[in-house]
Amino acid sequence: MAERAHLSTDRLNGVCETLLIPLAARVVESESVAPAFYDERGVALADLLDFDPHVVARDRWNKVGCQARTLILDAAVNDFLQRHPRALVINLGAGLCTRFWRVHARESLRWFDIDLPSVIELKRELLSQFDKEPEGSRRQYTTLDADVTDPSWLEQIPRTNDEQVLVIAEGLLMYLEQDSVQQLLKTLVDEFTGGELLLEAWSKFVRRVWGRLSPALRRTGASLHWGLDNPRTIEAWDSRIRVKNEWRPGDWEPHRWGLLRYAPALRRSLTKVLHFQLGEAVDAVDAQHSAA
Ligand SMILES: C[S@@+](CC[C@H](N)C(=O)[O-])C[C@H]1O[C@@H](n2cnc3c(N)ncnc32)[C@H](O)[C@@H]1O
């Protein structure tokens, strides 16, 4: 690896700066005595930056929530990759997410990390410090700078017929206006019929109060716009989108949550990770074709 220089996080403003919160949570967990997961690439990226993950991670509920969702989403993505040997994964609002290096990826995986230009510029600089995928590997990792509220990002993703698509929106949608979330989900189901979507949503209560209560979030100046209490709301937006599964980060290891360990119902109401089917399942389509 080339000699390391610390890169400045000053170029990250507002919502872009929020990426430091989940990165810090993953690094701090990885460096703990008995970590629940180890994010080797995340630790290496943080090491190249001029920020202290331990300071950002002092915000306990953000930290634990991000750690819990990391475990949930890593498992859900691994499950998808297991079910679909030829997968195209599109990670929206990816920040400095390093899931591509944590999951059990097959040779044929294609993975796109999408975020706003200042984030992608920084991520490319950071990743240029590491070795590329080995020569001859068909695993492809691509970073794409785009605003996900403008559907033209889709034109930059070359498609093949035999790939199953998984879209991830982790720590993203709460920063978008509801109209943008609705439009984005419609675009996804139009474009990726038969694909799947994993998204993280915060409750309406959290959306209202967390921007003021969380020191880490307050520091970024980012505003929270979208909250969701009932996943069926999304099914009502578009009948082609169906809930497949639902997890609650607040169910994870109560002792980690400080005072919230005494309030299990509140804890589990705060945030959700939701798994949706976009349009008809590919397996169902295959079954119909073979029955015809
Ligand atoms: C809290 S961070 C989450 C990063 C990553 N998903 C993770 O969990 O580590 C939110 C990310 O969403 C990105 N973001 C916010 N609005 C966006 C938009 N309209 N288009 C693309 N990315 C956006 C921000 O730049 C930031 O990197």
**164-169 and 87-92 strand pairing:** parallel
85, part of any domain? yes
243, part of any domain? no
Take atom 2 of ligand 1 and give the residue whose Cα is closest: 19
| Separation of alpha carbons 120 and 114, rounded Å | 7
231, part of any domain? no
Q: Identify the three-state secondary structure at position 141.
A: strand
- Structure tokens belonging to residue 149: 């509220």
| Other CB atoms within 10 A of residue 248 CB | 16
**Atom number in ligand 1 closest to CA 70:** 8
- DSSP for 81-92? HHH-SSEEEEEE
209, part of any domain? yes
Take atom 13 of ligand 1 and give the residue whose Cα is closest: 93
Give the range of the structural domain holding residue 114, as residue numbers without chain letter: 14-217+266-291
- Structure tokens belonging to residue 199: 């998204």
* pTM (two decimals): 0.94
Q: Report, in angstroms and rounded to the nearest whole number, the Rg of the chain calculated over CA atoms.
A: 19
CA of 188 to the centre of ligand 1 (A): 17
**Atom number in ligand 1 closest to CA 23:** 9
254, part of any domain? no
- pLDDT for position 71: 98
Q: Specify the CATH number for the domain of residue 211.
A: 3.40.50.150
Contact 172, 198 (CB under 8 A): no
**Atom number in ligand 1 closest to CA 169:** 6
130, part of any domain? yes
**Atom number in ligand 1 closest to CA 22:** 9
Give the binding-site residues of ligand 1, using a 6 Å CB cut-off. Answer: 15-16, 18-19, 21-22, 93-95, 97, 115-116, 119, 147-149, 170-172, 175
Residues in a beta bridge with 44: none
Best residue for ligand 1 mutational test, from 113, 149, 175 (most atoms within 8 Å of Cβ): 175
* Count of domains for the chain: 1
Contact 196, 278 (CB under 8 A): yes
- pLDDT for position 292: 40
- Structure tokens belonging to residue 192: 């990726």
261, part of any domain? no
CA of 286 to the centre of ligand 1 (A): 35
CA of 148 to the centre of ligand 1 (A): 9
CA of 94 to the centre of ligand 1 (A): 6
Q: What is the pLDDT of residues 248-269, one digit of tens each?
A: 999 999 999 999 999 999 999 9
- Structure tokens belonging to residue 243: 């809930």
Residues in a beta bridge with 89: 111, 166
255, part of any domain? no
**Atom number in ligand 1 closest to CA 91:** 6
| Separation of alpha carbons 219 and 199, rounded Å | 24
- pLDDT for position 2: 46
Take atom 11 of ligand 1 and give the residue whose Cα is closest: 93
Q: Identify the three-state secondary structure at position 236.
A: helix
- pLDDT for position 290: 44
Average pLDDT per consecutive 10 residues, the chain (292 residues; last block may be shorter):
69 92 98 97 95 93 97 98 95 97 90 97 93 74 96 93 94 98 97 96 94 88 96 96 97 96 96 96 51 42
